Structure 1
Amino acid sequence: MKELHIQGGQSTPEILADWEQGVLAMRGDSYPENSFEFFADVIQWLEDYLGQHQRPLRLELRLVYMNTSSVKAMMDIFDLCEEAFGKGRDVRVAWYYDPRNDRVFDLAEEFKEDCSFPFEILADGGA
């Protein structure tokens, strides 16, 4: 599985995973009925990518709303990133948020507190 594209829907984010660029991007709301099922392919792609070579990984997030089970799935994703970072891998997150939405900033801050890899939270005027 080299490339991954999951079309976004009303309750699911668009997900683009580019193997060659080393980028995993997510955009939109995330409150699917079954988050673990929805994110299974994303987690598998991430495990494959992190397990096959030492190239950098960049997560680009533009998530607006996440339900509790989506937060848990994101924690699993960050745990994989944390493990890879601990083994010397270049892993970084850029979480873009609408400056008018304090809740997204607060959520990103909570995630950042648990991560030791580079984690930027950036105002995005064009989101």
Structure 2
Amino acid sequence: MQPFVSAPTRSTPEIRFDAVSHQHRMKGECYPENAAAFFSPIFAWLRSYLAAKPTAPVTFDMELVYFNSSSSKALLDLFEMLEIAAAGGMRITVNWRYDKDNDIACECGEEFAEDAKALAFKLVAL
């Protein structure tokens, strides 16, 4: 399976999802004009990846400086996909990386973690 790679833009994050290393990253700002269109290929790749049921531990490093409400909904959908896979036996860790001075980013991570009980959801202050 080919990696999913998307270069960052002014309004979208860098994305590097790697099915070989099982290391996945989103980093930057996320406020695309059309969140559904932006996240659609990400979700398609992720569905294929999760369907293969990797046995190795899987890590998602999420370092989003800012995201809008439509991106927040898409992130909830992404975490729900991961939650279902983890409940099915996959070992998935989400590292929610945030600036230690950004209380809102920390609170968002805490809220995402509350809904993701089957994931190893870690808040990482930078």
Q: Which residue of 2 aligns with 1:59?
A: 60
On the 8 A contact 2:53/2:90 being kept in 1, the answer is no
Would you say how many aligned residue pairs link Structure 1 and Structure 2?
A: 124
CA deviation string 1:7-58 (max 9, x = no partner): 1111111100111011220001100001111111111111111101333321
State whether structure 2 residue 109 is matched by structure 1 residue 119.
no
CA deviation string 1:51-82 (max 9, x = no partner): 01333321101001110110111111111101
Q: Which residue of 2 aligns with 1:33?
A: 33
State whether structure 2 residue 77 is matched by structure 1 residue 76.
yes
TM-score normalised to the size of structure 1?
Answer: 0.93
Give me the whole-angstrom Cα distance separating, in 1, the residues matched to 2:47 and 2:7: 21
One-letter amino acid matched to 2:42:
V
Q: Which runs of 5+ in 2 are unaligned?
A: none
CA deviation string 1:66-125 (max 9, x = no partner): 10110111111111101111111111100111101111101111100101111000112x
Q: Which runs of 5+ in 1 are unaligned?
A: none
Q: Which residue of 1 aligns with 2:94?
A: 93
Q: Secondary structure of 1:12's match?
A: coil
- Tell me which stretches of 4 or more aligned residues in structure 1 moved more than 3 Å: none
Give me the whole-angstrom Cα distance separating, in 1, the residues matched to 2:102 and 2:53: 37
TM-score normalised to the size of structure 2?
Answer: 0.94
One-letter amino acid matched to 2:18:
D
Give me the whole-angstrom Cα distance separating, in 2, the residues matched to 1:39 and 1:23: 18
On the 8 A contact 2:61/2:94 being kept in 1, the answer is yes
Q: Which residue of 2 aligns with 1:13?
A: 13
Q: Which residue of 2 aligns with 1:43?
A: 43
